[in-house]
Amino acid sequence: MTPKKGSFVIEELENVQINIGKVGAEEQILEGPTPRPEIIGLRNWDYRIIDRYNPVYTPTGDTCDFCTYGKCDLTGNKEGACGIDLEGQSARQALMTSIMGAACHSAHGRHLLNYLIKKYGEDFKIDVGPSNLQAPLTETIMGIQPKTIGDFRPVLDYVEEQLTQLIATTNTGQEGAARDFESKALHAGMLDLLGMEVADIIQISCLGFPKSDEKAPMAEIGMGILDSKKPVVICVGHNIAAPAYILDYMDKNGQFDKIEIAGLCCTAHDMTRYNKSAKIIGSMSKELKYIRSGIPDVLVTDEQCVRADILKEAQKLHIPVIATNEKITYGLQDRSNDSVDAIIDDLVSGKQPGVVLLDFEKIGELVPKLAMKMGPIRKAKGLTALPDDEEFKKLVAKCTKCLQCTRDCPQSLPISDAMAAAVNGDLSLFEILHDKCVGCGRCDYSCPADIPVLNVIEKASQRVIREEKGKMRIGRGQIGDPEIREEGRNLVLGTTPGVLAFVGCGNYPDGTKDVYDIVEEMIQRSYIIITSGCSAMDVGMFKDKDGKTLYERYPGRFVKGNLLNTGSCVSNAHIAATTIKVASIFAGRKTKGNWEEIADYVLNRVGAVGIAWGAYSQKAFAIGTGCNRLGIPVVTGPHGTKYRRAFIGKPYRKETWNVLDGRDGSVINIEPAPEHLMITAETKDELMPLLAKLCFRPSDNSLGRAIKLTHYIELSEKYLKKLPDDWHIYVRNEADLPVAKREQLMKLLEEKGWKIDWEKKKILEGPLRKVDVSFQPTNVPRLCKEVKK
């Protein structure tokens, strides 16, 4: 819209009413050069990233069968019939994965936005807590400052339009360059962050979720928390819209002491944010296990991370399924226009195994009523898929030790050993397996002796399941501006060693306990730990010797040594947004329409790292890719190799580690910091020092660098039993060295050929560069004050 200037005069101003149309967020002043970037709008920035952090592909196949030209052999340097090569095809896969994830979160946001506007009106004010910068991603990407939930309409219009453009580029005969597929994948990742921000801000604002609340209450969590004698309702998925009505109905009718209601996956997070009487069972990996236990009397599904076989599994145990979202309907009849009583009759009698029900008022009334009817019926029959004691003995005795289950298990679990021990009455190996098992059910299909392996594992683990009772601080939402003001300086100068964000799913390589252990170690080392999604739940699942979870032991403020849970999957947006807040609030960078400058600041100055240790979904990939575009490195667990693309830095290619000094445009060759943007760690031992290393930033001051180096060295010595090979690369002068080891490390530097003045205890020669407290590292030439010729 072109702004028009002018003035008008009304003489004898009396009884005149002037109506000015809505001055919407769209009309606000733009600050940066790239508001609403198109699919190549940030290509230059993407190229800067890709040139340093080269995409590395690990394709699972070397053919392409996307179109009817195929199947095409892409081995060697061969091209497919359309001209694409294996690198291009791999990059296209990365783009498609990123698009899928972004679409998932944005469609969730759209569903919520339409519903909340209908219920509360488009002028409902945004309120996320004590912040002026309320929607950092929206401001940075769109160049607008939304005030009401209606202001998010053009934001999601933009996301949807861009995703359509991106999907179009994946068609055969469109984009062919791997580099540009990756730029587009980064664009999709950024859109993902934006869609998540919209979804969480509107639900926080309208549904009374905690608003930047560092003291949000605790919620109970675990497979052992429910009183299974009561009727049990389990909600599965990510979208709070329908469960909110169930909680309201139960609240209104005083049913919280009569019915147990809990969630699986991120719906659980948002149920507890909405009403703290709700409980949390755990992540998606608990879905099949919990359904087969027979404990749920009603299953309510919405969207995302809902197993495709839920209806089939539930039907075997006469657990009615209420599908409340158009995205997952399981072939069930849509009963939205029928009476609640008629639907209940058909479900109780088993005439229908489940229904699609899209009327939230009806869902709210039906689910508790249905649970009250189904509970006594199901409990009287003792419906469960788990074997009884006698059957269990027969089943474990059937195992022939063929190891087929272990070969098919994504975790390669030693199931036959546990079977053999159980034959002799020792269930301890099964109890260990229970935590490591991601509940996929693949072993059931692989066993030639027809042993229902997962059921056997769960039967054997009843003792540990009963004791599985933890606590998690309810999702707090954003980090408030005052917290950023307090902590920003420490973070940028490096005196807080880093922000570690534990995000994503429960596909851990060696059980949930690892996440707890990693968080405990890093929080004790004064890192700020932020969690979200299933990782946030798993962190709260274990207790120390005094019976306290990490959430009970550590406060939830954005300062070093604290543990913050932002909330559900869409709350991931606030973690990325925190880095924007640091750039804006602490460093005064302009945000609106200014992605490149903000991302450049984050990459060079904010020691934040994402850890998706159990990532499994396309959503987790999109989140990680969005963080990468914002300059935040991400580490995945070993299953992350199945995403088939990483962004790896090469320290030995010196020319890729040149940055500009913003004061005068001079070129400075820096240490590789951060070394990678997306990388997989094979083991926890490998992960620990890597996390510390990825927190290095060129802007660290000496005190900060010494603190970071201390952790890097200590973690390497503790977990890998050696000094890191590259610790010296991060030393710029003697003050960068950890105080406790300074002399010892200086001797080692001398052995490497560095010159040391032992009298003054100073490094004279050796480092790549000197410390300069005024250094303004940037990768963007236009941000330099004066470019040197």
- DSSP designation for 515: H
- How far apart are alpha carbons 160 and 99 in whole angstroms? 11
| Contact string (CB under 6 A) for ligand SF4, positions 345-364, x = contact | --------------------
- How far apart are alpha carbons 75 and 63 in whole angstroms? 7
* Residue closer to ligand SF4, measured from CB, 119 or 401: 401
Stretch near ligand SF4 under the rule CB under 6 A, chosen from 24-32, 208-216, 405-413, 544-552 = 405-413
Cβ partners under 8 Å of residue 115, min gap 6: 241, 360
Is residue 255 a contact residue for ligand SF4 (CB under 6 A)?
no
* Smallest separation (angstroms) from ligand SF4 to the CB of 305: 16
Please report the beta strands in 670-723, taking only residues with DSSP state E, as ranges in sequence order. Answer: 678-680
DSSP string computed for 192-229: HHHHHHHHHHHHHHHHT---S-TTPPEEEESTT-S-TT
* Residue closer to ligand SF4, measured from CB, 446 or 656: 446
Is residue 447 a contact residue for ligand SF4 (CB under 6 A)?
yes
Is residue 416 a contact residue for ligand SF4 (CB under 6 A)?
yes
Cβ partners under 8 Å of residue 336, min gap 6: 356, 357, 358, 359, 362
Is residue 451 a contact residue for ligand SF4 (CB under 6 A)?
yes
Which of 28, 63, 228, 404 touches ligand SF4 by CB under 6 A? 404
Is residue 399 a contact residue for ligand SF4 (CB under 6 A)?
yes
Dihedral (Cα; 526, 589, 205, 124), 10-degree rounding:
170
What pairing do the DSSP bridges indicate for beta strands 321-323 and 63-64?
Answer: unpaired
Is residue 446 a contact residue for ligand SF4 (CB under 6 A)?
yes
* Smallest separation (angstroms) from ligand SF4 to the CB of 391: 15
Q: Which of 735, 754, 583, 769 is nearest to 659 (CA)?
A: 769
* Residue closer to ligand SF4, measured from CB, 411 or 701: 411
State whether residue 709 is helix, strand or coil. helix
* Smallest separation (angstroms) from ligand SF4 to the CB of 512: 13
Which of 159, 194, 323, 443 touches ligand SF4 by CB under 6 A? 443
Is residue 614 a contact residue for ligand SF4 (CB under 6 A)?
no
* Residue closer to ligand SF4, measured from CB, 461 or 562: 461
* Residue closer to ligand SF4, measured from CB, 306 or 501: 306
* Smallest separation (angstroms) from ligand SF4 to the CB of 309: 13
Which of 141, 244, 385, 440 touches ligand SF4 by CB under 6 A? 440
Please report the beta strands in 376-514, taking only residues with DSSP state E, as ranges in sequence order. Answer: 470-473, 499-502
Is residue 386 a contact residue for ligand SF4 (CB under 6 A)?
no
Q: Which of 44, 30, 48 is nearest to 141 (CA)?
A: 30
* Smallest separation (angstroms) from ligand SF4 to the CB of 622: 24
* Smallest separation (angstroms) from ligand SF4 to the CB of 190: 33
DSSP string computed for 289-339: HHHHHT--SEEEE-SSS--TTHHHHHHHTT--EEE-BTTB-TT--B-TTS-
| End-to-end Cα, the chain, rounded Å | 40
For residue 448, whether the previous peptide bond is cis, meaning omega lies within 30 degrees of 0, is no
* Smallest separation (angstroms) from ligand SF4 to the CB of 289: 8
Is residue 415 a contact residue for ligand SF4 (CB under 6 A)?
yes
Is residue 421 a contact residue for ligand SF4 (CB under 6 A)?
no
What pairing do the DSSP bridges indicate for beta strands 777-778 and 658-661?
Answer: antiparallel
Is residue 394 a contact residue for ligand SF4 (CB under 6 A)?
no
* Smallest separation (angstroms) from ligand SF4 to the CB of 174: 38
* Smallest separation (angstroms) from ligand SF4 to the CB of 299: 19
Is residue 423 a contact residue for ligand SF4 (CB under 6 A)?
no
* Smallest separation (angstroms) from ligand SF4 to the CB of 426: 16
Is residue 400 a contact residue for ligand SF4 (CB under 6 A)?
yes
Q: List beta partners, residue 178.
A: none
* Residue closer to ligand SF4, measured from CB, 407 or 782: 407
- DSSP designation for 586: I
Burial of 25 (0-12, 13-18, 19+ CB in 10 A): buried
Is residue 223 a contact residue for ligand SF4 (CB under 6 A)?
no
Structure tokens at 288: 């099949």
Which residue's entry shows tokens 């990059």? 91
Is residue 439 a contact residue for ligand SF4 (CB under 6 A)?
yes
- How far apart are alpha carbons 777 and 789 in whole angstroms? 18
Helix (H) or strand (E) holding 64: strand 63-64
- How far apart are alpha carbons 358 and 354 in whole angstroms? 13
Which of 133, 206, 405, 611 touches ligand SF4 by CB under 6 A? 405
Q: How many other β-carbons are positioned within 10 Å of the β-carbon of residue 380? A: 8
* Residue closer to ligand SF4, measured from CB, 449 or 720: 449
State whether residue 660 is helix, strand or coil. strand
Total residues in contact with ligand SF4, by rule CB under 6 A: 27
The alpha carbons of the chain give a radius of gyration, in whole angstroms, of 28
What type of residue sits at position 368?
P
Stretch near ligand SF4 under the rule CB under 6 A, chosen from 142-150, 403-411, 424-432, 512-520 = 403-411
* Residue closer to ligand SF4, measured from CB, 506 or 738: 506
* Smallest separation (angstroms) from ligand SF4 to the CB of 423: 11
* Smallest separation (angstroms) from ligand SF4 to the CB of 3: 60
Q: List beta partners, residue 280.
A: 221, 263
Is residue 402 a contact residue for ligand SF4 (CB under 6 A)?
yes
Stretch near ligand SF4 under the rule CB under 6 A, chosen from 261-269, 401-409, 699-707, 748-756 = 401-409
Is residue 454 a contact residue for ligand SF4 (CB under 6 A)?
yes
* Alpha carbon separation from 562 to 214, 221, 501, 530 (Å, rounded): 10, 20, 12, 8
Which residue's entry shows tokens 């980064």? 186
* Maximum CA extent, the chain: 100
Give the footprint of ligand SF4 on residues 143-162 (CB under 6 A). none
Stretch near ligand SF4 under the rule CB under 6 A, chosen from 206-214, 415-423, 648-656, 762-770 = 415-423
* Residue closer to ligand SF4, measured from CB, 434 or 525: 434
Q: How many other β-carbons are positioned within 10 Å of the β-carbon of residue 546? A: 7
Which of 35, 210, 441, 624 touches ligand SF4 by CB under 6 A? 441
* Smallest separation (angstroms) from ligand SF4 to the CB of 448: 6
- How far apart are alpha carbons 596 and 599 in whole angstroms? 5
* Smallest separation (angstroms) from ligand SF4 to the CB of 453: 5
Is residue 501 a contact residue for ligand SF4 (CB under 6 A)?
no
Is residue 449 a contact residue for ligand SF4 (CB under 6 A)?
yes
- DSSP designation for 152: G
* Residue closer to ligand SF4, measured from CB, 255 or 416: 416
CB 111 within 8 A of CB 241: yes
* Smallest separation (angstroms) from ligand SF4 to the CB of 460: 12
Which residue's entry shows tokens 């009569």? 258
* Residue closer to ligand SF4, measured from CB, 116 or 443: 443
Task: By CB under 6 A, name the binding residues for ligand SF4.
Answer: 399-405, 409-411, 413, 415-416, 419, 437-443, 446-447, 449, 451, 453-454
